[in-house]
Amino acid sequence: MDPRLLDQTRREWRQLGFFYDWSDERNEWRIVGTRSGLSALADRLRLYASNPRNAALSEHEHLGPYMYLKITTARDRRIDADGIHGSLSDVLALATLIQAAVEGLDPSRHARICSEFSTSSLGGIRLELRPDGFDPASVDDTLAR
């Protein structure tokens, strides 16, 4: 792979503030970062929810260098391999859940959000807290090749 593309991808993970990946085995989004990095996910959700342009069904925003994780305006709350779905108020509620979970975490621990967001959703979000100085790009196996 082109070293310039690898460097760009590293920069994009660092700018995002956290690493993410979907696990088919666990049926969850794994989000890894420092307290401020994980809080950045809550911030992105709040920013999405505060934009009136996102109120229409199917509006969406892709996150991160690979753009796999997506926030989508939908009728029903759910988390799946495609991303996070719900109304703007649902997305805001998830941001609140994530922020509360992050504030209660100890470094090198994790929290899972699933039924608190949607009892009908099979998927969830696993928040993994790392100590300050953690580099989100370091978790991306694609960059180590």
At 43 the pLDDT is 98
pLDDT (tens digit, 9 = 90+) per residue, 21-70? 999 999 999 999 999 999 999 999 999 999 999 999 999 999 999 999 99
67-95: per-residue pLDDT in tens? 999 999 999 999 999 999 999 999 999 99
Given a contact cutoff of 8 angstroms between Cβ atoms, the answer to whether 20 and 140 are in contact is no
Please report where in the chains the tokens 């199917």 appear, as a residue: 58
pLDDT attached to residue 120? 78
Q: What is the mean pLDDT of the chain?
A: 95
> Is the pLDDT reported for residue 131 higher than 90?
yes
The domain ranges of the chain are 3-144
Instruction: Please provide the DSSP assignment of the chain as one string.
Output: --HHHHHHHHHHHHHHTSEEEEETTTTEEEEEE-HHHHHHHHHHHHHHHH-GGGGSTT-EEEESSS--EEEEE-SS-EEETTEEEE-HHHHHHHHHHHHHHHHTPPTT-EEEESTTT-TT---EEEEEE--TT--GGGG-HHHH-
Of the chain, the end-to-end C-alpha distance in Å amounts to 8
pLDDT digits (tens, 9 = 90+) for 13-23: 999 999 999 99
Report pLDDT for 145: 60
